[in-house]
Structure 1
Amino acid sequence: MPWVYDGNHSVIAFDNRHLGLSIIKGRFNRAEVALSIDDEDLTRSSVTAVIDATSIDTGNERRDDTLRGDIYLDVARFPTIDFRSSAIEQEGSRYVIVGSLTLHGATHEVRLLTTINGELTDQRGITHRGFSAQIAIRRSDYGISTTLVEGVFMAADAIHLSIELETTLRD
């Protein structure tokens, strides 16, 4: 039986240090995720995700417009952020999802450290499974601006992504 991405109970979030002084947090509000989960051997599973880059949301519309612009995400040219797994490796009780991340027109292999948070069947008889994944990427690897202000990067090169993903088992 297939597991289906539950976008209503999932979050694709990020944080980035601004001027070395504070951490700005945000999220992407729209994504399509396709899963092929092998319950017998999770290392034979796969995942693809297409994140709508225009859905970036930091809670500040002016900042979001800047992030959508040509200095950063350039959503007019690159409207999506794409991930496609190529392998899943088990490391103790965790998994590493290896795959290609395409952002701002550049593609690099990444490794998402992933934890299975559990599985339960709710009072309606619907089975849910939760996952958490983390990764750090460098903007410069993807050709995204590294503007300096007084010798300090306006936004840090490192971007931390945190994914809380919930799936639902469908008949």
Structure 2
Amino acid sequence: MQNNQLFPRMLLISVALIMAHLSWADEVYKTVDDKGRVTYTDTPGANKQAKEVDLPPINTQPPVQYRPRTIQQGKAFIPETTMVLTSPTNGSQIGPTQDSITVAVEIKGDMPSYSHISISFSGQEYTLAKGAGAIEIPVKRIDRGEKTIIATMIGRQGEAVITSPPVTIHIIRPNRKPRASPKS
């Protein structure tokens, strides 16, 4: 690879790594050297030209509230059957480089042949294939924050037969600067 192509890539990687760690820094300083190279750091150092950068507040939004399906009276119910999510575990952290997660379901007892498993994650529903114990769910475009995963066994008429206990995970993403709106 030529040097003129390597420098922009290295600069981009450096800035991305620096930005990923900015959320842990109390103060951020910006310096520009004689050649015009910009450096961000958490200490002003000996350089008198270091300027403190005023960062916007961290984007904190409450998680989407999950409304569990209720089991209607007179519908199918299988009391001797239980269902739990075995992966991911409660409190897991999903890092910025992870593109997908494996959601695994364990069913103890009988699962009627007419039923299927629905996974609710971040406001979307995913259907587990018959006989499969796990499903890959893409998380690359999921915003950061606390997310809840719940598995539900769906009966013949679309009713919730059994619902797993919820599992809460934390999606970790670096801060993103909001895009400027296009000018008319």
Q: TM-score, normalised by structure 2?
A: 0.30
* Greater RCO (CA < 8 Å, at least 6 residues apart): 1
Greater radius of gyration (CA): 2
Higher relative strand content: 1
How high is the TM-score relative to the length of structure 1? Answer: 0.31
